[in-house]
């Protein structure tokens, strides 16, 4: 009886407490995340240009420069320098930095096929320049970001700003796999039911691989490097323009890009009972 009475009293106490705490408040909370790069020594930023490859339906160099400049104007304290977009791939080629062109199959003078393994790179012509199709092709261009004299000279032309450059690969992609989808139906009593269903689907979309290189325009040295890989897939029957997919993927990249330059805040709430 004593134990039962104690349990009853405890239950009554909890009920009174719950009744008393009938009001609650949501308090907004912000958690700051420090920037990865200290830009306090710069007042200006120059988005110079990118070495871009992949689908020719999108000028990834031009679109990336435009987008970053627009975001920096509204969400950064640095003054954005308006300048022509650098054709970095062409400048790199002039310095002898470029991937090997496609390997051609050579034939012997008598018309017979050459022995396997004797094919040689064909020198690029104006009509057949090397194309950047994958991440392997981009590796050869990394040397240009280590060219201190080139970036220091560019920085001197624009009053020693923070220089943003890098590479952008935007390529089509397809995948066939099982996908879980929710199917809605109504049972015999008219109640709505939603059940997960696994379905084998062929989907197509794009992969975006941007790499941002931050260079000190005063010295020409590299300060920081950030790489990302984003992917979007659609049903094979859906026709989505490449440019729309590019902006959809860049929407995911932009917050992380800006987080490298300035302190960002994660917003949330806490619930207080009264």
Identify which of 66, 78, 54, 109 has the alpha carbon closest to the alpha carbon of residue 230: 54
pLDDT digits (tens, 9 = 90+) for 56-97: 899 999 999 999 999 999 999 999 999 999 999 888 877 766
* Mean local confidence (pLDDT), 133-157: 91
Domains within the chain, CATH numbers bracketed: 22-93+132-273 (3.40.50.10610)
Q: What are phi and psi of 161, to 5 degrees?
A: -85, 175
Does the pTM exceed 0.75? no
| Sign of the torsion formed by the C-alpha atoms of 255, 256, 259 and 261 | negative
pLDDT digits (tens, 9 = 90+) for 23-48: 666 777 766 677 788 898 999 999 99
Predicted confidence (pLDDT) at residue 225 exceeds the cutoff of 70:
yes
């Amino acid at each position: 009886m004593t134990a039962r009475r104690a349990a009853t009293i405890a239950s009554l106490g909890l009920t009174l407490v719950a009744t008393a705490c009938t009001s609650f408040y949501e308090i907004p909370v912000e958690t700051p995340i420090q920037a990865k790069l200290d830009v306090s020594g710069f007042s200006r930023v120059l988005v110079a240009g990118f070495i871009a490859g992949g689908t020719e339906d999108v000028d990834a160099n031009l679109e990336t420069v435009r987008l970053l400049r627009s975001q920096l104007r509204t969400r950064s304290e640095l003054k954005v320098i308006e300048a022509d977009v650098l054709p970095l791939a062409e400048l790199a080629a002039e310095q002898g930095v470029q991937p090997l062109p496609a390997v051609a199959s050579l034939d012997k003078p008598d018309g017979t096929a050459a022995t396997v393994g004797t094919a040689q790179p064909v020198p690029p012509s104006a009509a057949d320049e090397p194309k950047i199709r994958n991440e392997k092709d981009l590796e050869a261009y990394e040397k240009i970001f280590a060219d201190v004299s080139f970036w220091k000279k560019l920085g001197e032309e624009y009053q020693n700003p923070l220089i943003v450059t890098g590479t952008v690969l935007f390529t089509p992609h397809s995948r066939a796999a099982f996908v879980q989808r929710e199917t809605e139906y109504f049972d015999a009593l008219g109640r709505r039911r939603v059940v997960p269903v696994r379905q084998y689907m062929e989907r197509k979309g794009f992969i975006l691989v941007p790499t941002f290189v931050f260079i000190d325009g005063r010295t020409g040295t590299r300060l920081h490097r950030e790489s990302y890989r984003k992917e979007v897939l659609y049903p094979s029957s859906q026709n989505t323009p490449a440019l729309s997919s590019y902006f959809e993927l860049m929407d995911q990249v932009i917050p992380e890009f800006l987080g490298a330059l300035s302190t960002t805040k994660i917003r949330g709430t806490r619930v207080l009972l009264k």
